[in-house]
Amino acid sequence: MTEPAAMAPPRGSVLSGMLWMFLISVLLFWLPVIGALIAGIVGGMKAGGVFAGLLAALLPGILLGIALMVSATLLSGIPMLGFLAGLGGFVLVLMQLGPLLVGALIGGLLA
């Protein structure tokens, strides 16, 4: 009788991919598109796969955008004005996600 093959351990984690993407994008902020692309590639490789890399790129951006909308709404005297200001911040976050997602896709394929 043969024993069943052991499952391979996961190659990375979404949390480590998110941390690497954050750190590298902060360090390479002065390279507008290339810095986010490099951060996405490294984060996608650290995440360990295509789906994990894309999740690691999308999740912090969406959470930051929602946090901006909620905090601007709570801190302003006019809730609708705070919501619109937070929505503007959310759009700025989404603009940064394009190269990060492409890099995460490439890095996930390389992992």
Q: Indicate the burial class of 86 (C-beta count within 10 angstroms; 0-12, 13-18, 19 or more).
A: buried
pLDDT (tens digit, 9 = 90+) per residue, 46-55? 998 899 999 9
pLDDT (tens digit, 9 = 90+) per residue, 12-35? 889 999 999 889 988 988 888 899
Count the helix, strand and coil residues of the chain and give each as a percent rounded to the nearest 5: 75, 0, 25
Give residue limits of the domains in the chain. 14-110
In this prediction the pTM is 0.74
pLDDT (tens digit, 9 = 90+) per residue, 3-13? 555 565 667 88
Q: Residue 9, by phi and psi: left (phi above 0), alpha (psi -120 to 50) or beta? A: beta
pLDDT (tens digit, 9 = 90+) per residue, 64-89? 878 887 888 888 878 888 788 878 87
Structure tokens at 87: 């929505």
